Amino acid sequence: MIKEKIKNIFPKENDILSKYKIEPVICDDYLVDGKILKFKGEFRDVYSPVCVVDKNGNTTQMFLGKYPLMGEEEALKALKAAMKAYDRGKGLWPTMSVEERIKHILKFVEELKKRRDEVVKLIMWEIGKTLADSEKEFDRTVDYILDTVEALKELDRNSSKFIISQGIYAQVRRSPLGVVLCMGPYNYPLNETYTTLIPALIMGNTVIFKPPKFGVLLHTPLVRAFASSFPPGVVNTVYGDGQTVVTPLIKSGNIDVLAFIGSSRVADLLKHQHPKPHRLKCVLGLDAKNPAIILEDSDIDIAVKECISGALSFNGQRCTALKMIFVHKNFQNVFIEKFVRELENLKIGMPWEDGVKITPMPSLDRITYFKEIIEDAVSKGARVINEFGGETNHTFIYPAVVYPVTPSMRLWSEEQFGPVIPFKYFEDISEPIDYLINSNYGQQVSIFSNDPERISALTDVLVNQVSRVNLNSQCQRGPDILPFTGRKDSAEGTLSVSDALRVFSIRSLFAFKASEANNKIVKEILDKRISKFISTDFIL
Ligand code: G3H
């Protein structure tokens, strides 16, 4: 049954219901200095993870459209526009009042909402995310922006008073940093891009935005929304290969903040390209290999349910996914057996199908990689323990449970970012603890237990290894008001609705010695409301 389903997983084009079909999108518009320009150069074709079968029985990835392969010249034009709009802090945007900036962001949200159907469909087709999850990604992004607005109002209200200490009066606020380069990941191409782009903008920075390798076309409908919502040069778009367009931007020394969600390898390369690395503030969401640790006293049903969802939501393509599962030796047979049974109940298919959980991957290269890491583990003594685990059909791979995975195998330490689930049993709790201590990653961990003593002892050690310990639940970023960060190769900086506002700004003070003359000057400034910074106005 599963084998048959894998063999026939891809539809004929005519079998796809018209409401799910998509017309190719030619992304030739780009936004620089408030103008939507037509790109004239070379383009890259975009293919979906979803394949279609033609009348001769050939299976090929569906053509979705094209995006520009820009060069250094276009990239530097975008930089010039962003620098001009920032104007070394003198520009309209960085000097605008918080209230006014909020109005622009709210206008953008309205424009964004109008394009929901189009963007959701493109997320689904471009990265193969289920329709339900693509909708969730869109709605979560809108909520994130609205929450950001509220958080900024709160921040501003708290800054609308003077602090008095040792005869000094000071008003402490937050000011922008300059030009921000925003680069999001392909697995959350809308949400994770906007969780940096929106806080960067709302704090008064100007932005150059480059979409990831997969998940480019979905931004096409939003270029006009940016153009109509923000003053010229505040948002500028760049498309193409990172090496070609990003390298000259960083090398120029004129990028003040790098907001990048991707691999630590690329982050290191970029950071070192800056002529004065200390001037480049980095906000990075990087690699992770979050383990689950299942103790023998845990509730098996909960542990299995959470581990299935943790390891396989969006086919394991989440930075927070569970990527290594440690089960207590006395518990392993019953746990693994139930895990495999639940896995077999997951519906495989096309992203628009109701209740589908496992969908195709973004490229054939990914499939080759998964085969390699499974072969590597098998050659070193592991087994794929679920039937049809690792079976492929073009861009589709059936999830593989690999057991037991040991330190010499690539799956032990590499972030697989896909539906390959390594298991290892342990007898002594020091084994999974040592795994985390020796790991290059330090994002999160999930522990499964019902014993308060064990949970406490483990948590007290693990909070010094990772940045979030989850009890009896999978790892995750949300809710978005919680801090999201990591140690070692997993992150730099902390994101959450309120933290992001801090990350993209710096504290600035206006201070004066209390004296009759100074008090009179400041009182006049406040009464006449002539400064945006020196102000006790309270945003409602
Ligand atoms: O890819 C990493 C995302 O930040 C994970 O977010 O835990 O909400 O899926 P999530």
Exposure string for 108-125, b = 16+ CB within 10 A, e = fewer: bbebbeebeeebbbbbbb
Span 352-372, average pLDDT: 98
Residue nearest to atom 2 of ligand 1 (CA): 319
Global pTM reads 0.97
pLDDT of residue 395: 98
Span 92-107, average pLDDT: 97
Span 434-446, average pLDDT: 98
Pick from 191, 477, 494, 499 the residue to mutate for probing ligand 1's pocket: most ligand atoms within 8 Å of its CB.
477
Residue nearest to atom 6 of ligand 1 (CA): 477
For ligand 1, is residue 357 a contact (CB within 6 Å)? Answer: no
Judge whether residue 495 has pLDDT over 90: yes
**What residues pair up with 283 in beta bridges, in sequence order?**
259
In the three-class reduction of DSSP (H, G, I as helix; E, B as strand; rest coil), residue 45 is classed as strand
Ligand 1 atom closest to residue 185's alpha carbon, by position in its atom list:
1
Span 133-142, average pLDDT: 98
How far is residue 169's CA from residue 534's CA, in Å, rounded to a whole number? Answer: 12
Residue 204 contacts residue 177 (beta carbons within 8 Å): no
pLDDT of residue 354: 98
pLDDT of residue 1: 87
Task: Give the sign of the dihedral formed by CA 309, CA 291, CA 420, CA 477.
Answer: positive
Judge whether residue 158 has pLDDT over 90: yes
pLDDT of residue 514: 97
For ligand 1, is residue 320 a contact (CB within 6 Å)? Answer: yes
Distance of CA 196 from the midpoint of ligand 1 (Å): 14
387 band by pLDDT with thresholds 50, 70 and 90: very high
Distance of CA 110 from the midpoint of ligand 1 (Å): 25
- From the list 280, 222, 229, 274, the residue with the least C-alpha distance to 252 is 274
Distance of CA 192 from the midpoint of ligand 1 (Å): 8
Query: What is the per-residue DSSP string for 453-497?
Result: HHHHHHHHHHTTTSSEEEESS-----STTS-B--EETTEES-BSH
pLDDT of residue 240: 97
- Say how many CA atoms lie within 13 Å of 362 toward its Cβ: 21
Distance of CA 172 from the midpoint of ligand 1 (Å): 33
Written as six digits, the tokens of 147 are: 């929450």
Written as six digits, the tokens of 211 are: 């979409």
Span 483-506, average pLDDT: 98
Burial class (CB in 10 A: 0-12, 13-18, 19+), 427: exposed
Residue 412 contacts residue 380 (beta carbons within 8 Å): no
Pick from 186, 188, 416 the residue to mutate for probing ligand 1's pocket: most ligand atoms within 8 Å of its CB.
188
Pick from 319, 445, 466, 495 the residue to mutate for probing ligand 1's pocket: most ligand atoms within 8 Å of its CB.
319
How far is residue 181's CA from residue 179's CA, in Å, rounded to a whole number? Answer: 7
Mean pLDDT of the chain: 97
Judge whether residue 270 has pLDDT over 90: yes
Span 383-395, average pLDDT: 98
Pick from 183, 441, 476, 482 the residue to mutate for probing ligand 1's pocket: most ligand atoms within 8 Å of its CB.
476
pLDDT in tens, 303-334: 999 999 999 999 999 999 999 999 999 989 99
How far is residue 336's CA from residue 220's CA, in Å, rounded to a whole number? Answer: 44
For ligand 1, is residue 476 a contact (CB within 6 Å)? Answer: yes
pLDDT in tens, 395-433: 999 999 999 999 999 999 999 999 999 999 999 999 999
Judge whether residue 183 has pLDDT over 90: yes
- From the list 200, 199, 194, 203, the residue with the least C-alpha distance to 180 is 200
375 band by pLDDT with thresholds 50, 70 and 90: very high
Residue nearest to atom 7 of ligand 1 (CA): 476
For ligand 1, is residue 318 a contact (CB within 6 Å)? Answer: yes
pLDDT of residue 370: 98
Residue 332 contacts residue 401 (beta carbons within 8 Å): no
In the three-class reduction of DSSP (H, G, I as helix; E, B as strand; rest coil), residue 501 is classed as helix
Torsion angle of C-alpha atoms 22, 27, 33, 36, degrees rounded to 10:
-80
pLDDT of residue 156: 95
For ligand 1, is residue 478 a contact (CB within 6 Å)? Answer: yes
User: Locate tokens 């782009």: which residue?
Assistant: 197
For ligand 1, is residue 319 a contact (CB within 6 Å)? Answer: yes
**What residues pair up with 63 in beta bridges, in sequence order?**
47
Percent of the chain with pLDDT over 70: 100
